């Protein structure tokens, strides 16, 4: 018996449209603009740290970090 195929597009849409994620992006965009790095092509992002603060980090590092939802078997452990 095959498992049901994941609809990644739908998962992404639901995840990114939640009020918490919208507020998260708004906060990071605001801090990027304040730091003068929003849209200037310098390759830096504002990144949230574990303690709640923010810091400047390379885009490739910040966006490439593995998240729980991307880990193999995450849906099985979530239940």
Q: What is the pLDDT of residues 33-71, one digit of tens each?
A: 888 888 888 888 888 888 888 888 898 888 777 666 666
Q: Is 1 part of a structural domain of the chain?
A: no
Which residues make Cβ contacts (< 8 Å) with residue 16, sequence separation at least 6?
A: 22
In a domain, residue 70? The reply is yes
The pair of three-digit structure tokens given for residue 72, joined into one six-digit string: 């193999």
Ramachandran angles phi, psi of 65, nearest 5°: -65, 135
Q: How many CB atoms lie within 10 A of CB 38?
A: 16
CA atoms of 67 and 55, how far apart (whole Å)? 18
The whole domain housing 16 covers 8-78
What pLDDT shows up at residue 12?
82
The total number of structural domains in the chain stands at: 1
Look at residue 34 and tell me if it is in a domain: yes
Would 3 be classed as within a structural domain? no
Whether pTM > 0.75 for this model: the answer is: no
Query: Quick check: is 2 in a domain?
Result: no
Task: Kindly state whether residue 66 falls inside one of the protein's structural domains.
Answer: yes
Assign 21 a pLDDT band (cuts: 50, 70, 90): confident
Alpha-carbon gap, residue 3 to 40, rounded angstroms: 44
Q: Which residues pair with 73 in a beta bridge?
A: none
């Amino acid at each position: 018996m095959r498992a049901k195929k994941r609809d990644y597009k739908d998962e992404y849409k639901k995840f990114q449209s939640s009020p918490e994620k919208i507020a998260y992006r708004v906060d990071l965009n605001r801090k990027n603009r304040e730091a003068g790095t929003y849209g200037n092509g310098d390759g830096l992002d504002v990144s949230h740290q574990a303690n709640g603060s923010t810091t400047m980090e390379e885009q490739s590092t910040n966006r490439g970090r593995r998240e729980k939802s991307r880990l193999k078997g995450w849906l099985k452990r979530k239940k």
